[in-house]
């Protein structure tokens, strides 16, 4: 069976709030189903391999975010991978980098990769706190829980669809949260997002590997407990 190749992009620049957990959880959920998987970490002084199956990138500060955007555009490997159908999951700074443009450290526009049809810009006040959002029903993923901390707001163009609608928190800043376009998914959610939202993790795995065998039910206990605990912390109890 082919090994699922997960590529964790630029941990030296973008990896806040444990975003690396997104790669670990995909690897674990694949292996628990008997699907071989391996994580390759690619630092910003290395080429991004174009033959990965799922690419992941995390959040970070404004200056490393600008460096990451410049480097990814010059490298070309991620663009090539997405063009041939690879899955990409991008969080916060990494999410903004996938749009056409975002606000740099002084608010100046910085060019992104344009893999998501969207523009981000700095906005006041900074959005910090828990976020809860309902996913586009077309994707069949349960309610999202996460943590956001960003200055930017994001406006989607017609080719990108909102990933979800916010119940709590800011997200894109217009009542929506995140975006998807083909197999590229972006979100402001940390937490890490795929640890708190196994349904989203399985959507990405399905896109990369096809229909998934079931997981041993006991291996879901901790993830379910974390999810319930985070949702209960922000949802008013009856």
CB nearer to ligand GLN: give 37 or 195.
195
CA distance 8 to 1: 22
Interface with ligand GLN (CB under 6 A), residue total: 12
Q: Minimum Å distance from CB 130 to ligand GLN?
A: 14
Binding mask 128-167 for ligand GLN (x = CB under 6 A): ---------------------xxxx---------------
At 7 the three-state DSSP class reads strand
CB nearer to ligand GLN: give 59 or 192.
59
- Beta-strand ranges (E) seen in the chain are 4-9, 37-42, 54-57, 87-91, 101-103, 109-111, 118-135, 144-156, 161-168, 176-181, 184-187
CB nearer to ligand GLN: give 34 or 109.
109
Q: Which residues are catalytic?
A: 92, 190
CA distance 223 to 67: 34
Task: Identify residues 30-69 at the interface with ligand GLN (CB under 6 A).
Answer: 59-62, 65
Binding mask 85-104 for ligand GLN (x = CB under 6 A): -------xx-----------
> With binding defined as CB under 6 A, does residue 21 bind ligand GLN?
no
Phi/psi at 176 (5° precision): -110, 165
**Region at 92 (left for phi over 0; alpha for psi -120 to 50; beta for the rest):** left
Task: Identify residues 178-237 at the interface with ligand GLN (CB under 6 A).
Answer: none
| CA nearest to 25, candidates 116, 72, 89, 104 | 89
- Indicate which single residue of 15, 16, 172, 197 sits in contact with ligand GLN (rule: CB under 6 A): 16
Residue nearest to ligand GLN (CB): 59
Residues of this chain that interact with ligand GLN (CB under 6 A) are 16, 59-62, 65, 92-93, 149-152
């Amino acid at each position: 069976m082919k090994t699922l190749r997960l590529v964790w992009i630029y941990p030296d620049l973008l990896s806040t709030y444990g975003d690396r957990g997104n790669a670990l959880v995909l690897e674990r959920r694949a292996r628990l189903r008997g699907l071989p998987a391996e994580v390759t970490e690619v630092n910003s002084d290395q080429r991004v391999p174009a033959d990965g199956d799922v690419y992941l990138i995390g959040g970070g500060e404004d200056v490393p975010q600008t460096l990451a955007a410049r480097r990814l555009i010059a490298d070309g490997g991620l663009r090539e991978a997405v063009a041939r159908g690879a899955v990409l999951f991008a969080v916060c700074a990494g999410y903004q980098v996938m749009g056409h443009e975002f606000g740099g450290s002084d608010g100046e526009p910085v060019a992104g990769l344009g893999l998501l049809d969207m523009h981000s810009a700095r906005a006041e006040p900074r959005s910090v706190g828990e976020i809860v959002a309902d996913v586009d029903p077309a994707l069949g993923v349960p309610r999202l829980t996460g943590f956001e901390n960003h200055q930017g707001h994001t406006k989607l163009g017609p080719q990108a669809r909102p990933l979800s609608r916010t119940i709590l928190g800011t997200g894109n800043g217009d009542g929506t949260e995140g975006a998807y376009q083909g197999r590229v998914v972006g979100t402001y959610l940390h937490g890490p997002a795929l640890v708190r939202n196994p349904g989203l993790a399985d959507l990405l795995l399905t896109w990369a590997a096809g229909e998934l065998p079931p997981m041993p039910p006991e291996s879901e206990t901790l993830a379910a407990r974390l999810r319930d605990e985070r949702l209960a912390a922000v949802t008013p109890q009856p």
